[in-house]
Copies of this chain bind each other. A is one copy, B any other.
Amino acid sequence: MTNHTYRMEKQLLLLGLIRQRSRHGYEMVDYIETALASCVDLKKPTAYFLLDKMTATGWLTQTDQREGNRPSKRVYELTPQGEDEFQRLLQENLATFNDATFPGDIGVIFADALPRAEALELLARRRAALIARQTEVQAAPPHPGVLQWTVEHVRCHLTADLGWLDNVINDLSKRGE
């Protein structure tokens, strides 16, 4: 019964946003890409597809609204079944721990295939990108309410990652001395 795809998270997110107040697709995608990019990566076609699907399933209702002369919006609201599904997905999401994978480790594994100086220079570039991301996060204005948690999450993982990377760089530069 439980549908263990990563699509779950995206559905949960859309349902949750609509649950807060009725919204239309464009608005949600925009919000997600700016404020929630650290949580999920949800593109327009996926969003529209999921909204259509969830409407067909009976979790959402559509209403076309046109304000002034703007293009008409397709505004969504939660049905009782939608609320049930939201609760189910929320419970599962809260109780589940997702562990990450680290594709960047593959390069580290084979680093000794390169001259040490070159490997260290490339890792220095990786480090610079990490730092850039870190200052970007640090510079971001404080997010309202619970959203601050997501910022905090990114921040703490970047710190951990930097510590690990510095260890790797250190070990590599000291090897064979």
**A contact set with B: CB distance below 8 Å:** 6, 9, 12-13, 16, 19, 36-41, 86-87, 90-91, 93-114, 118-119, 122-123, 125-127, 129-130, 133, 146-147, 149-150, 152-154, 156-161, 163-164, 167-168, 171
Contacts and interface: CB of A to CB of B under 8 A. Distances in A.
A122 B16 contact: no
Contacts of A147: 109
The secondary-structure label for the interface of chain A is helix
Contact of A94 (B13, B107, B159): B107
A148 to B, nearest CB: 9
A133 B94 contact: no
Contacts of A102: 38-39, 98, 150, 153-154, 157
